[in-house]
Chain A
Amino acid sequence: MAWDSGLRRLMMIYLPLGCFVLILLFPFYWMAITSFKPNAELMNYREHNPFWITSPTLAHIKHLLFDTAYPRWLWTTMMVAIGATTLSLVASTLAAYAIERLRFRGSPYVGLGIYLAYLVPPSILFIPLATVVVQFGLFDSPLALILVYPTFLVPFCTWLLIGYFKSIPYELEECALVDGATRLQILRRITLPLAVPGLISAGIFSFTLSWNEFIYALAFIQSGANKTVPVAILTELVTGDVYQWGALMAGSLLGSLPVAIFYSLFVDYYVSSLTGAVKE
C-alpha cells in the first residue's frame, strides 16, 4: 500500500514536474552550452555529442566583448533600466501615497485610471510615440527610453504600492499627525520605511521590465552605439546568411545574467508580490 502510493506520487507529481523543469530550463542550457562550444563542435553532431562540450572555449565571449560594442550596449541598457526604475519608483510612490493615504474625492477613479493605463499595450503606442519623441528632439537618445518606460512601469508599481500602503496601519500615521508631524515627515519617517519591502519588489519588477523592453527601443534608437542589449543583438549581431550562433548565444546569456542575478537576490519578494498583486 505504502509502496503503491509512493509510486503513484512519483508518477502523478514528480514525473510531470521533472518534465516541466526540463522543458522550461532546456533553452537556457542550450544557450549556455552553445556559448562555450568551439565552432567545429557546434556544426558537427555526428562526431560530437551535441549535449556536451569536449573542448570548451571562451572565443565567442571574447569576440563579443572585444570585437563588438557589447559592453557599451550593456552599459546603456543598465543606465536606461536604472533611470526608468528610479523615475517610476518616485512617481508611483507619491501617486500611491496620495491615492491610498491622502484620500480625496475621486481618488478611487484616479487609481482606476492609472490601472487602466497598464492595459494599453506598447504595440498600439509605438508609432505615435515615435513622432512625439522626434518632436521632443529625443530621437536616438536613451533618454527617450528613460522617459517612455514609466508609461508601463508607473501603472504597475502604483498598483503594487497601493496594496502595500493598505497593509500599513493608518493609526501609525494618525498618531504622528496628532504629535504634530507634518505630512512630509510622516511620509519620510514612517510610511516609506515601513513600505521598503513593497518598494523593493516594485524596483525589481521595473528593472526587469525595462531590461526586457524591446519595441520602443527598436523604434526610437537608430545608431548602433545607443542600442539596448535585446535590440542590438538582433540588429547588429545578426549579419549575413551565416549566423554566428556561438556569439549570439553568448550575447543572450550575458544579457540575461544581470536580470537573473538581480532576480535571484530578491526572489522571495518577487514571488510574494507577484502572487499578492494577482490576489488583490
Chain B
Amino acid sequence: MSVTTLSSPALAQRQPNWLVRLFDYKPFLIVMCLAPAIGLLAVFLTYPLGLGIWLAFTDTTIGQRGIFVGLDNFQYLLSDPLWWNAVFYSIVYTAIATFGKFALGFWLALLLNNHFPFKSLLRAIILLPWIVPTVLSALAFWWIYDPQFSIISYLLVDVLHWRTSNVDFLGSPWPARFSLIAANIWRGIPFVAISLLAGLQTISPSLYEAAMLDGASAWQRFRYITFPMMMPILAIVMTFSIIFTFTDFQLVYAITRGGPVNSTHLLATLAFQRGIAGGELGEGAAIAVSMIPFLVFATLFSYFGLARRKWQQGEAND
C-alpha cells in the first residue's frame, strides 16, 4: 500500500497525460504544426487569389454584388488606351530598372569583394536604402525632384552652369518616367549588390589562381570564371527582382500617382485607381489579373534564360 502511494508521483511523471501523448502522435503533431501557416495562407492568399480571378469576370462595384460578365472586362481593357499605356510603361520600367539595378549592383558587389578596412560597416551602410520604408524614401525623391527647389537643378544651374533653367523632372511624361526609374534603381542596388556579393564569395579562389597562372587578363577572368559561376544566383535574384519591379506600386503612387497625364501608371497603380479609388472592383481585378501572364513569362524567361548553363552542364558540375 505504502509502496504504491510512494511510486505514483514517479509513475505520473514517466507516464505523461493524454494531451502530451496526443502531441507525441506524429500525424497529429504535423497537422497542428502546419495548421497556423497553411490556415493563414489559405484564407488570406489562396482564397483571395481565386476570388480575384473570379471578380475579374464580373462587373462588381463597391457595395454591389456583381454578375458574371465573361470576358467583357478584358475586352474593355484591350480597347482602353490607358491600359495599353500602363502595360507599356510597366515593361519599360521593369526592363530599364532591372538592367540598371543589376549592372550597378554587380559592379558594387565586385567592388565590395575586395579587401579594404571597415568593410562590414560599409556593407551595413549600403543596405540602408533597402531597409528604409519605400514610401518614405520616395518622398525624399519627390522633394529632390521638386520643380522649383530641386537640389539637382540647383547643382546643374547655379553650381555647374550646365543649364540655364531648372529641370522639370515630374512635369512631362518622359522625364517623369525616367525619374521614377532612377528612384527604383537607387532602391534596388543594395539588395542586388549584397545578394551577388554572397554569390561572389562562394567562388573558389583557386579558380582565379589557376587562371592567373595561365595568363588570363582581368576581363577574361571575369568573363570566363566570375560571370558563368554567378549565373544560378543571378537567375534567382533577377526573377525576384523582375516580379517585384513589374508589380511595384509604392514608388509610383508616392511620387507621381500615375501622372502627368497618366503617363507613369503601372498596372498596379491603374488597378488601384480603378478598383479601390474608382470603386470598379471587377475592372480593377481584371487589371490585376492581367499582370499574371506577364509575370509568368518574365519568370520563365529570367529563370530558364539565365539558369540554362546550369542544366545544360548537369547538376553534378556544380
A215:B23 contact, CB within 8 angstroms: no
| Chain A residue contacts of B206, Cβ below 8 A | none
| 4 nearest A-B pairs in the assembled complex, by CB-CB distance | A275-B198, A123-B268, A98-B33, A95-B37
Interface size on A, residues (CB 8 A): 90
A233:B29 contact, CB within 8 angstroms: no
In Å, the complex CA distance between A252 and B127 comes to 18
Interface size on B, residues (CB 8 A): 97
B195:A128 contact, CB within 8 angstroms: no
Q: Which residues of A contact B (CB under 8 A)?
A: 13-14, 16-17, 20-21, 23-25, 27-28, 30-31, 34, 42-43, 45-46, 50, 87, 90-92, 94-95, 97-99, 102, 104, 110, 114, 117, 119-132, 147-148, 150-151, 154-155, 158, 180, 182-184, 208, 211-212, 214-215, 218-219, 229-231, 233-234, 245, 248-249, 251-252, 255-256, 259-260, 263-264, 267-268, 270-271, 274-276, 278-279
Interface of A is mostly: helix
| Chain B residue contacts of A30, Cβ below 8 A | 140, 143-144, 151
A110:B34 contact, CB within 8 angstroms: yes
Provided the pairs A123-B247, A214-B134, A278-B236 are in contact, do residues A249 and B140 lie with their beta carbons within 8 angstroms?
yes
Interface segment, one of B95-103, B116-124, B170-178? B116-124
Which of A121, A231, A252, A264 meets B244, CB within 8 Å? A121
Interface segment, one of B77-85, B209-217, B270-278, B305-313? B270-278
Complex: chain A residue closest to B155, CB-CB: A50
A271:B127 contact, CB within 8 angstroms: yes
Is B202 part of the contact surface with A, judged by Cβ < 8 Å? yes
B132:A28 contact, CB within 8 angstroms: yes
In Å, the complex CA distance between A248 and B140 comes to 9
Q: Report A219 CB to chain B, min CB distance, Å.
A: 5
| Chain B residue contacts of A13, Cβ below 8 A | 111, 114, 116
B40:A147 contact, CB within 8 angstroms: yes
Is B249 part of the contact surface with A, judged by Cβ < 8 Å? yes
| Chain B residue contacts of A102, Cβ below 8 A | 26, 29-30, 33
Provided the pairs A114-B37, A150-B44, A274-B195 are in contact, do residues A124 and B247 lie with their beta carbons within 8 angstroms?
yes
B291:A124 contact, CB within 8 angstroms: yes
B34:A27 contact, CB within 8 angstroms: no
Q: Report B154 CB to chain A, min CB distance, Å.
A: 5
A279:B285 contact, CB within 8 angstroms: no
A212:B133 contact, CB within 8 angstroms: yes
| Chain A residue contacts of B189, Cβ below 8 A | 20, 24
For the A-B complex with A31-B143, A104-B26 known, give 9 more contacts whose Cβ atoms are closer than 8 Å: A17-B111, A20-B126, A30-B144, A121-B295, A182-B20, A218-B276, A231-B135, A252-B136, A263-B127
